[in-house]
Structure 1
Amino acid sequence: MINVFKWDESLSTGFDEVDNQHKKLIRVIEDVHQAMEAADRDEADAGLKLAKDLKRLTDYTLYHFTEEEDLMRRNGFPGLESHKKEHEAFVAKITAQIKGLAASDAEASFQLYRFLGSWLLAHIARSDQEWAAFISQKA
């Protein structure tokens, strides 16, 4: 597999807790990537590690989205509902793609990894910057 998604300071929202959560999400996506590569090489227990990493990814994603939406709600961000719909669409898409991994298809794994990293970085760079600017201006 190719692509390695990394944190870049240009993605910073200016909210340390949120930025740390974003960094952790990127690390978890990279853990998923490594587990996918191990599964492609048929390494022992690779399937179990991949399942655990995917579970950790979905759990942490849901936690992060809840925290982020709560921050927007507390600060009266007018785009909350739209932002929340982006989160819901992401969760639905990764849930569907994870189910597609059951066939151990290397291409499906790569597509999931590419989607995870690309979506997250684009979402942080665009949508998260909107609410961060709004809340920062209120302060």
Structure 2
Amino acid sequence: MSFLKWSEKFSVGSNLLDTDHKRLFDLVQKLYTVSQDLDNQKQIVSVLVDLIDHTRAHFLHEETLMRRTAYPSFIHHKIEHDRLINQIEAFRKNLAAGQVGMAQERLAFLQTWLCEHISKIDKPLGRWLTKNNLQDDPI
């Protein structure tokens, strides 16, 4: 069952950022899949750690790009990134402590957050990068 699937409607117009976003979608989908068996806590934590690592790397890419291009909404964008990191770190800590009961609720949050963040926060960044001909600048 598909919980979260990438589509072109999520493209921000930057191959680099879109590739990162596709990987985030894949990891959230994988987390959903392994979370269907709550007794498999070790695998759930493993996928969640992969998601956290990729999310941190992606956010660093975006934030470096925003700083380098003097993106006007950088501070707001960074605050949104920090909020998500705090949420998924709390999820990881809960799982590590054996608290798996809220897994589905956290997954729904991740699904909504990712779709809304890309649609409302990252797309304006993509337009800014395109306007300034920076959409495929290496990070």
Aligned position for 2:32: 33
Cα distance, 1:27 vs structure 2 = 0.4
The answer to whether the Cα contact below 8 Å between 2:2 and 2:29 also exists between their aligned partners in 1 is: no
Task: Give the partner amino acid of 1:78.
Answer: P
Cα distance, 1:131 vs structure 2 = 1.1
Cα distance, 1:3 vs structure 2 = 6.7
Unaligned runs of 5+ in 1: none
Q: How many angstroms apart in 1 are the aligned matches of 2:107 and 2:67?
A: 30
Which of structures 1 and 2 has the larger relative contact order (alpha carbons within 8 angstroms, sep 6+)?
2
Cα distance, 1:36 vs structure 2 = 0.8
The answer to whether the Cα contact below 8 Å between 1:98 and 1:112 also exists between their aligned partners in 2 is: no
Share of identical aligned residues, percent? 30
| TM-score, normalising length: structure 2 | 0.88
Matches within 5 A, 1:11-90: 11-39=10-38, 42=39, 46-90=40-84
Unaligned runs of 5+ in 2: 134-139
Q: How many angstroms apart in 1 are the aligned matches of 2:121 and 2:57?
A: 18
Q: How many angstroms apart in 1 are the aligned matches of 2:9 and 2:36?
A: 29
Cα distance, 1:95 vs structure 2 = 1.5
Aligned position for 1:129: 123
| TM-score, normalising length: structure 1 | 0.88
The answer to whether the Cα contact below 8 Å between 1:35 and 1:49 also exists between their aligned partners in 2 is: yes
Encode CA deviations 1:8-67: one digit per residue, 9 max, x unaligned: 21110110111011010010011111111122xx3xxx2221111011011110000000
Task: Give the partner amino acid of 1:91.
Answer: I
Aligned residue pairs, count: 132
Runs of 4+ in structure 1 over 4 Å off = none
